[in-house]
Amino acid sequence: MNARDETKILRILREGYTFAMYVGPQGPALADEFHPDFQVLVPEIDGRTGEIVDVRWVRPTLRGGARPRATGPDIAFDCRVLDISGRVAVGKVEVHQRGRLVCTDYVLLFRVGREWRIVGKTFHQHAGAAATA
């Protein structure tokens, strides 16, 4: 693992990813950290049983506009690099609200040339948490 790559990825997760996915508005610099084909693997949940019945890839809209979704002292993000192997990295982002873990995101990054780009994510919404992902 290269310390320079780890530093870059942590910056992307802490400053770019969390801002674009949860806070907004999106600035021009943030778009550079996401690959144009970025997608999210989303579970399809049975409304009666609450069981996951399938998953699908969706292309989300990054946060924008004047109404931030996840800001203030009650929201905190904990970003850690799980693994870097060559040009591929997986990062873990925990979203805490009022001191409680509400969502865990697993973010897939790929190095194109010298720059890391976010190419995809999947997530787990913890029991009792409102939809934040």
Decide if 116 is inside a domain: yes
Q: Identify each DSSP E strand in 1-114 by its residue range.
A: 34-45, 52-58, 75-85, 88-97, 100-112
Q: What is the residue range of 27's domain? A: 3-59+70-125
Decide if 133 is inside a domain: no
Residue 93 near residue 18 (C-beta atoms within 8 A): yes
Contacts of 9 (CB under 8 A, 6+ apart): 81, 84, 89, 91, 109, 116
The number of distinct structural domains making up the chain is 1
- CA dist 126 and 133 (Å) reads 11
pTM confidence score: 0.78
CA angle centred on 132, ends 95 and 61, rounded to 5°? 115
Decide if 130 is inside a domain: no
CATH number (domain holding residue 105): 3.10.450.50
Decide if 102 is inside a domain: yes
Q: Give the helix/strand (H/E) hosting 30.
A: helix 28-31
> Across the chain, what does the average pLDDT equal?
80
Tell me the per-residue pLDDT of 14-73, one tens digit each, with 9 for 90 and over.
888 887 777 765 544 456 788 888 888 888 877 777 788 888 888 876 654 444 455 556
pLDDT at 130: 56
pLDDT at 67: 44
